Amino acid sequence: MEIIDANTAMLSNFEVLGLLNSSRVKGDQTRNQSGSLATITYEAIKYLEGTPAALQSEGCFKKFLEDVKKFGLTIKEKTMILNLRPKTDVEISLIVQSTDQERLTEEQIEELIELIQNTLPE
Amino acid sequence: MFVLALVKQTVRVPSEKFNRDIDQAISEELNLKFANKVVLDVGLCIALWDIIKRGESFILPGDGGHHTKVEFRYVVFRPFMEQILVGRIKNCDKESVQVSLGFFEDIFISSENLQKNSRFDETEHLWIWEYQTEDGKHDLFMDTGEEIRFKVVAEYFIDTTPSGPSNEAPDSSLDPIKDNKRLSYRINASINESGLGLLSWWAS
């Protein structure tokens, strides 16, 4: 086995949940006698269905990524917002790393919370 | 918290699967091999994402199956440093709080990474955060099963493949407690920041 790249891309919970619920994994699962795929997909789906990802759709996913561009967030920050769907400014300040100078003003944080509430279902 | 890992590997497809579509057969073999396993320095493998490249298949003397070199992408659980995640408290003990995500349970918040002014209650067997307000101290309990938000601060991979006999005394290597500590992939987390900790603490 040769690991070419241990991290070629980051996935959001929504994308992983979509894969695990898709027929290509389900088909392998029924034929997989060892059951390890069935176990991990069952447990991961159970966890992911308790997260905001369970309610997201491709439409709101794309709309959010389009609208959030103006805030200049990194991919990691955007992934965390999609996975956690923060509601308060305390949560935003945990996700968006502030260095010496504040990256988001208070108004921008409020605008971001409003954007999350409008695009991502609760 | 999930990433795609690009891996190159020769896969053996047994002859009873020759009647199947080759990509489907290979994908089954890959899921059989990797699902729910920890790969050193990669993470916990979940499921196959896609096959990128498939080479020619070879049949070797004395073996009914065919061997094919493939490049594929696999979904792997590997949170990045400083990532914020939500899980449930699985267990509390004197040194740490263990958090579970259901499919992964080797996440530990050591006592120094808990909120400041936390203490361990021996009788209840849980950690308590003594939250200071103007009208005195409030005890916030960290009950098992509660949802907790935490930050990933460190990760450890240990090669757990059996090696030769160790030099230690034989009875100590059979100690089950010590064996349990050899986790192939372990995450250390922290809740020592405002906004982190039980979700109920920050709900209002």
Distance between CA atoms of residues A5 and A21, nearest Å = 26
**Whether residue B31 is found in the same domain as residue B89:** no
CB-based contact B76 A6, cutoff 8 Å: yes
What one-character DSSP code corresponds to residue B20? S
Q: Tell me, what's the pLDDT at B38? A: 93
The confidence score (pLDDT) of residue B66 equals 93
Q: Are B184 and B167 part of one and the same domain? A: yes
Among B5, B46, B49, select the one facing A6 at the smallest CB separation. Answer: B5
Chain B hits for A28, Cβ within 8 Å: 27-28, 31, 47-48
- Strands B107-110 and B185-190 turn out to be parallel
Interface contact flag, A83 B73, Cβ < 8 Å? no
* Three-state DSSP class for residue B100: strand
For the stretch A83-116, pLDDT in tens is 999 988 888 888 887 765 677 888 888 899 999 9
For position A39, what pLDDT does the model report?
87
Q: What percent of chain B has pLDDT over 70?
A: 91
What pLDDT, on the 0 to 100 scale, is given for residue A109? 87
Q: What is the CATH number for B8?
A: 3.30.1490.120
Shortest distance, CA A48 to any CA of chain B (angstroms): 9
Helix axes B22-34, A36-48, angle to 10 degrees: 80
Question: pLDDT by residue (tens digit) across A10-58?
Answer: 999 999 999 998 876 776 666 655 678 888 988 999 999 999 999 999 9
Q: How far apart are CA B38 and CA B26, in angstroms?
A: 20
> Given this model, what pLDDT does residue B39 score?
93
Both B73 and B89 in one domain: the answer is no
Nearest CA in chain B to A97: B82
As beta bridge partners, residue B67 has B12, B58
For residue B169, pLDDT over 60 is answered with: no
* Residue B195 to residue A91, Cβ atoms within 8 A: yes
Residues B108 and B195 grouped into a single domain: yes
pLDDT in tens, B176-199: 555 556 789 999 999 998 889 998
pLDDT at B195: 87
Whether pTM exceeds 0.90: no
B95 shares a domain with B32? no
Task: Map out the domains of chain A with their CATH numbers.
Answer: 13-54 (no CATH), 57-119 (1.20.1250.40)
What are the Cα distances from residue A109, in Å, to A19, A45, A116, B34? 32, 31, 11, 41
Same domain, B68 and B125: no
B26 lies in the same domain as B100: no
pLDDT at site B181: 63
In terms of domains, do B125 and B184 share one?
yes
pLDDT tens across B94-134, in order? 989 999 999 999 999 999 999 888 889 888 888 999 888 87
- Do B44 and B114 fall into the same domain? no
Say if residue B195 is in the same domain as residue B148. Answer: yes
Q: What is the domain-level CATH number for residue B151? A: 2.40.50.140
Per the DSSP assignment, residues forming a β-bridge with B131 are B138
- Reported confidence tier of residue B167, pLDDT bands at 50, 70, 90: low
Q: What do you get for the CA distance between the two ends of chain B, in Å? A: 27
Tens of pLDDT along B2-31? Answer: 999 999 999 999 999 899 899 989 998 999
Q: Supply the pLDDT for residue B26.
A: 92
Question: B30, B45 in Cβ contact below 8 A?
Answer: no
Using only C-alpha atoms, chain B has a radius of gyration, in whole angstroms, of 23
Taking 70 as the threshold, does the pLDDT of residue B93 lie above it? Answer: yes
B34, B54, B77: which is the final residue of a domain? Answer: B77
Domain enclosing residue B133, as ranges: 84-202
Cα gap B30→A42, rounded to integer Å: 18
Q: Which of B77, B108, B124 is the last residue of a domain?
A: B77
In whole angstroms, give the CA distance from residue B83 to residue B119.
Answer: 26
Band of pLDDT at residue B201, cut at 50, 70 and 90? confident
What's the number of domains chain B is made of? 2
Interface predicted TM-score (ipTM): 0.88
- The answer to whether residues B94 and B150 belong to one domain is yes
User: Last residue of a domain, which of B77, B96, B111?
Assistant: B77
pLDDT tens across B134-146, in order?
A: 778 888 889 999 9
Regarding whether B169 and B71 lie in a shared domain, the answer is no
A7/B71 touch (CB, cutoff 8 Å), yes or no: no
